[in-house]
Amino acid sequence: MSRIEFKNVRHAYPPAKGQELVYALKEVSQVWEDGGAYALLGPSGCGKTTLLNIISGLLTPSEGSILFDDQDVTQLPTADRHIAQVFQFPVVYDTMTVFDNLAFPLRNRGIAEARVAERVTEIAEMLDLSDRLMQRASGLTSDGKQKISLGRGLVREDVNAILFDEPLTVIDPHLKWQLRSKLKQLHRQIGVTMIYVTHDQVEALTFADKVVVMHDGGVVQVGSPVDLFNKPKHTFVGYFIGSPGMNVLPCKLDKGQPVFANNLLSSGYPADTDLSGKLEIGIRPEFVRFAEDGIPVEIEKVEDLGRYQVVTVKHEAALIKMVVSEDQVIPSESPQIQFDPDNLRIYRDDWAVEANDA
């Protein structure tokens, strides 16, 4: 097992004729601690698969280096990196039995047949494949085939890390939940570094100790699920994590305090905060409430989600989401709202301003 480090890694795929060079990975410097459970979260096209393929060696980055425990592996072929990778769609040998599919990565490395049988039995049990070991893989549903793919990723004992690239995409929703808990449990048991790619925040937050949020070819924040919720460093994180996401509203500053559409707001920022650039406030819907002496709004929409309500209000051109309790009465006469000063953050050019670096 090892600690994996990216040093100024950038990658551009060869451009099509007449097109200019675009970096799919802009510049990533990032450490994956040995034994960590990481989720790599971001929308489609942000560079997640590119990053995984650079770790496993399927791709050599255009610039920068990759270290495993301080050894430079940038030019090392896949086979010498000891990385197991599970892809989005099943990779199975249809004509082989389930057993032989699971045994393949071990036999390939010359593991003794007795140990192969032990490992395969163990992994099959975990994935509920025990009673199908002698069947041909071709007879399995796509769920079953993806379980084999997962099993092939998990069966080896000599790996530095296991990479999962949206492995549950093709899996039935209820089985998805079950398999995800299994992976988490397995991580606790074997303690090998796992990097789990997903575009689904719920998957990321339930699997990982650390979530690496990617946006547009770069890593914008690494943190625990709680950090990402409470202290989004980038407006994208605020918007992407949470349901509904953070409200991001244009603002100006007056003696250090944010002003949103002529409404002076209180915040935790000092009076000497002075910034230039694109300025915005970020406030989560959970920290917007109805109050006297607030910002006048119109109610646009009320969605009753059982334990809470999501209310969309409008001030001038801006739409603001609020999350309020199920018993909150929605004011019908000139409603006004306030933002909780302790949970209001200022963003400059999309990056959070810390109260002490203003």
Out of Mg ion, ligand ADP, none, what residue 89 binds, judged by CB under 5 to 8 A for its kind, is none
Interface residues toward Mg ion, by CB under 5 A = 48-49
Work out how close the CB of 250 gets to ligand ADP at its nearest, in angstroms, rounded to a whole number. 29
Residue 13 or 89: which CB sits closer to ligand ADP?
13
- Cβ–Cβ < 8 Å for 235, 280: yes
Residues 213, 56: contact at Cβ < 8 Å? no
CB of 12 to Mg ion, least distance (A): 17
Residue 24 interacting entry, from Mg ion, ligand ADP, none, C-beta within 5 to 8 Å by type:
ligand ADP
- Comparing CB distances to Mg ion, the nearer of 98 and 163 is 163
User: Strand 279-283 to strand 247-250: parallel, antiparallel, or no bridges (unpaired)?
Assistant: antiparallel
Cα gap 72→94, rounded to integer Å: 37
Residues near ligand ADP (CB under 6 A): 13, 24, 42, 44-50
Q: Give 40 or 352: the residue with its C-beta nearer to ligand ADP.
A: 40
Tokens of 223: 């943190």
Of residues 199 and 284, the one with the C-beta less far from Mg ion: 199
CB of 176 to ligand ADP, least distance (A): 19
Whole-number Å distance between alpha carbons of 224 and 211: 6
68 within 8 A of 160, measured Cβ to Cβ: yes
Which does residue 45 touch among Mg ion, ligand ADP, none (CB within 5 to 8 A, set by kind)?
ligand ADP
Pick the closer one to ligand ADP by CB: 29 or 95: 29
Least CB distance to Mg ion at residue 48 (A):
5
DSSP state string for 193-219: EEEEEES-HHHHHHH-SEEEEEETTEE
| Position closest to Mg ion via CB | 49
Element (H, E) at 150: helix 142-154
Pick 49 or 221: Cβ nearer Mg ion: 49
Task: Give the closest residue to 217 by CA, choosing from 70, 55, 35, 27.
Answer: 27
Q: Which of Mg ion, ligand ADP, none does residue 47 bind (CB under 5 to 8 Å by kind)?
A: ligand ADP
Distance, CA of 260 to CA of 249 (rounded, Å): 7
